Chain A
């Protein structure tokens, strides 16, 4: 299926990308900047669209990874952690799990961060995460397992640190 023009994609999915960015970044101005950057990123990456997912899913994934990159900013990150502690957790996620996952994300590759965020912060189940990331449930499961293992190792190191 050929990909619509970037302007058409924006008209169809701009609202969804905006909601995703605002939900992740929590800040109106940052979300508006992020939408522009997501669509520009999609524009320059059009060649990487393989048609194995819908344009919406593709854009949603770009928006998620873009916002994760933005959340490297210390201020945005602190405010995100504060918001997670305040807001009600979605079904499938616990407040503690959300905070823990969010605070551990930084040391991981972006694709792992995306999976962990969708699973533990958004609370999606494995199948939904696989759909959102265009990966198999097996791969999603493996990456979540790796995340859990490495998180445990990091936590153990922290515990023995003087």
Chain B
């Protein structure tokens, strides 16, 4: 290869992932321009890893690794609201789509609650529209592990998977915990939130496509639908 590769390839080189015999690797190790780019990348990376910000990440990761049930600073904040949440009305996974709902039920109920961070307070979503600056967070309670994905469809039609980052439902362990990101929308989100819960792994891509196209997301599990109205 003759052209200099993209940053992604240089990153793979730095991560030790480029096969030594590949054309890309041969180029990167002999090209003076790439060598300069790599030097800059190394210097930038080293400066960051030596910064107080990186120390903050180290502390945070050490802390969440010790405390597995509260795995992020955002989630720590949300977990403060857990007693409130427990006292509030949990949104049951209302719409059953599985052909064998009784089996799911016999394995234990699962509930998902939408929490809203508003002006420093964290409260269960009341069903009202969201205000500018509000954050959304999902909280999970189940007596058994389940596979979960959450997809948001804005009234404008924009559809986005909120959780997990991969297009495969993530396994959530039994217990009560916040999950996914703390999400902030600008302007505030109004639309429909689809919470998909199954007993087995499932791909989210066809379900995202169905939701985007206003079709029913059909899969061997249950779908809970929450409609967040637009502010008047």
Minimum distance in angstroms from A120 CB to a CB of chain B: 13
By a CB distance below 8 angstroms, the chain B residues around A32 are: 48, 51, 53
Contacts A36-B56, A56-B12 given: A123-B158 contact, CB under 8 Å? no
Count residues on chain A whose CB falls below 8 Å from chain B CBs: 55
Minimum distance in angstroms from A109 CB to a CB of chain B: 5
A23 to B37, CA, bound (A): 14
The yes or no answer to A62 lying at the interface (CB within 8 A) is yes
In the complex, the answer to whether A13 meets B15 with C-beta atoms within 8 Å is yes
In the complex, the answer to whether A107 meets B61 with C-beta atoms within 8 Å is no
A12 to B45, CA, bound (A): 11
In the complex, the answer to whether B208 meets A35 with C-beta atoms within 8 Å is no
Chain B 42-69 residues near chain A, CB threshold 8 A: 42, 44-46, 48-49, 51, 53-54, 56-58, 60-62, 64-65
By a CB distance below 8 angstroms, the chain A residues around B212 are: 109
The A contact surface, by secondary structure, is helix
By a CB distance below 8 angstroms, the chain A residues around B41 are: 15, 19
A32 to B161, CA, bound (A): 24
By a CB distance below 8 angstroms, the chain A residues around B8 are: 60, 118, 122, 124, 128, 132
The yes or no answer to B17 lying at the interface (CB within 8 A) is yes
By a CB distance below 8 angstroms, the chain B residues around A110 are: 160-161
Q: Which A residues fall within an 8 A CB radius of B?
A: 5-7, 10-16, 18-20, 22-23, 32, 35-37, 39-41, 43-45, 47-48, 50, 54, 56-57, 60-62, 65-66, 69, 72-74, 90-92, 106-111, 118, 122-124, 128, 132
Q: Which B residues fall within an 8 A CB radius of A?
A: 3-4, 6-9, 11-12, 14-15, 17, 41-42, 44-46, 48-49, 51, 53-54, 56-58, 60-62, 64-65, 71-75, 156-161, 164-168, 170-171, 179-181, 183-186, 205, 208-209, 212
> Apart from A11-B49, A16-B14, what are 19 other A-B pairs with CB-CB below 8 Å?
A14-B48, A14-B57, A22-B44, A35-B48, A35-B57, A36-B56, A39-B60, A40-B61, A40-B73, A43-B72, A44-B179, A48-B164, A56-B15, A66-B181, A90-B6, A91-B4, A91-B6, A108-B159, A128-B9
